[in-house]
Amino acid sequence: MRTYDTIGLAAFLDEAQRLGIAVIAGLPVPSSAYEKFFYRNGKKTDALLESIRSAVLRYRHHPALLMWCLGNEPVMTWKPGHKGFYSTFNRLLATIHQLDPEHPVTTTIPNFNIVQIWMTRQKVPGLDLISFNTFGQLNKLSARLERFSRIWDGPFLVAEWGTLGPWESDITAWQAPVENTSSKKAEQLRKMHAADLPLHNPRCLGALAFYWGHRQEATGTWFSLFSESGQPTESVAALREVWGKPTHNDAWPKVNYMLLGGKGARDNILLASGAQYTASLLLDTSNTALIETLRWRVAQEDWYQYPGRRNRPQPLLDTVIRAVDGLELAFAVPRRGGPYRIFVEVNARNGNIANANTPFYVVE
């Protein structure tokens, strides 16, 4: 498992050790974009060095520790004027190696960014390996590793992989990303693991599936493997399967699609303010007997929140409909114009869930 910072790391390492899991401990550093604000300030960089020094000294002998990850996508920029960033990064790296020669140090790069890999080799030659965060471009990773082996021929790790991100998905005319159903996400994970991960490459040290709690990124369900109350989606089953750890509780409602007024999410759905519309859920009929309840919700689109912020949009409509009453919801469109999204959570009798959502725009 991988962490992104050292908050609660002692308890995390202890629990990992109890479960027989190794940990890649993240040591956060500001992006190179903060050159003027941070890296040219000696007091700030000295404080960062001291905090990382303290963390390494505290955890270097823990038996669950596998390696250190210095920064998450810190941006190894080619642009001039970033001497402070590279100088500080190398100071941090040298300190970690000096204090803890037993554990390797990596950092992460988005996708297979050739420029950042080249700058890493030129400016930060002391790194032991490079790690890649990649989602929709995972299918290109193996070919790029082979084609550009002259740029990086050392060991690597896939530090994040998972279903397509909001930045890679289809979008509506008003720039709202279209999210796949939970069933489609599970299908993608199985395919990506089988066809795209370079696990047979002798330089590959492994791959970590991206785990996101129930937090907001475009929606509260986009990367969430579990519901807010801890119920697993089919993506959990998909990961168990590809890791060779399937369970008996493997039945999920299969959500094919959601329609709103007979239209799909990619149809740029415009609804009249205050009108009555019907949302309907299209399911694979093989598992409909599993369904216990459907929970529908309408929320404002997450346009104005900073990335990673924990706040979720305020629900405007919240109701529960039993499966025996049908797979449709008739609702009143909000009167205020703007972007919205309708969600549905399908609760199964065995405790598993499925979900889907559709963006729409209200025209006053």
Query: Among residues 195, 212, 242, which one ends one of the domains?
Result: 242
Domain that holds residue 264: 255-363
Please tell me whether residues 130 and 276 are part of one structural domain. no
Please tell me whether residues 220 and 269 are part of one structural domain. no
Task: Give the chain's end-to-end CA distance (angstroms, integer).
Answer: 48
Q: Is 238 a domain residue?
A: yes
Q: Is 249 a domain residue?
A: no
CATH of the domain at 50: 3.20.20.80
pLDDT, residue 320, reads 63
Please tell me whether residues 332 and 235 are part of one structural domain. no
Report the predicted TM-score, pTM, of the whole model to 2 decimal places: 0.89
Q: Is 1 a domain residue?
A: no
Q: Is 2 a domain residue?
A: no
Query: Among residues 205, 221, 242, which one ends one of the domains?
Result: 242
Please tell me whether residues 236 and 319 are part of one structural domain. no
Please tell me whether residues 343 and 216 are part of one structural domain. no
Please tell me whether residues 315 and 225 are part of one structural domain. no
Closest CA to 21 of 35, 3, 43, 34: 3
Please tell me whether residues 228 and 281 are part of one structural domain. no
CATH of the domain at 344: 2.60.40.1930
Please tell me whether residues 283 and 159 are part of one structural domain. no
Calpha distance 337→256 (Å, rounded):
29
Q: Is 216 a domain residue?
A: yes
Domain count, the chain: 2
CA distances 351 to 184, 242, 252, Å, are 19, 22, 9
Spell out the per-residue pLDDT of the chain, length 364, in tens: 999 999 999 999 999 999 999 999 999 999 999 999 999 999 999 999 999 999 999 999 999 999 999 999 999 999 999 999 999 999 999 999 999 999 999 999 999 999 999 999 999 999 999 999 999 999 999 999 999 999 999 999 999 999 999 999 999 999 999 999 999 999 999 999 999 999 999 999 999 999 877 777 888 899 989 988 899 999 999 999 999 988 776 788 889 999 999 999 999 999 999 898 899 999 887 777 788 888 888 888 876 554 444 455 556 666 666 655 578 888 888 888 999 999 999 999 889 999 999 999 999 8
How would DSSP label each residue in 236-260?
HHHHHHHTT---S------EEEEEE
Please tell me whether residues 69 and 144 are part of one structural domain. yes
Q: Is 27 a domain residue?
A: yes
Please tell me whether residues 231 and 261 are part of one structural domain. no
Q: Please enumerate in sequence order all residues whose Cβ is within 8 A of that of 157, keeping only pairs 6 or more positions apart, or say none.
A: 24, 106, 129, 130, 131, 132, 204, 205, 206, 207, 208
Please tell me whether residues 208 and 320 are part of one structural domain. no
Query: Among residues 242, 264, 279, which one ends one of the domains?
Result: 242
Please tell me whether residues 201 and 261 are part of one structural domain. no
How would DSSP label each residue in 39-83?
IT-HHHHHHHHHHHHHHHHHHTT-TTEEEEEE-SS-----SSS-H
Cβ neighbour number for residue 243 with a 10 Å cutoff: 10
pLDDT, residue 317, reads 66
pLDDT, residue 306, reads 47
Calpha distance 287→15 (Å, rounded):
36
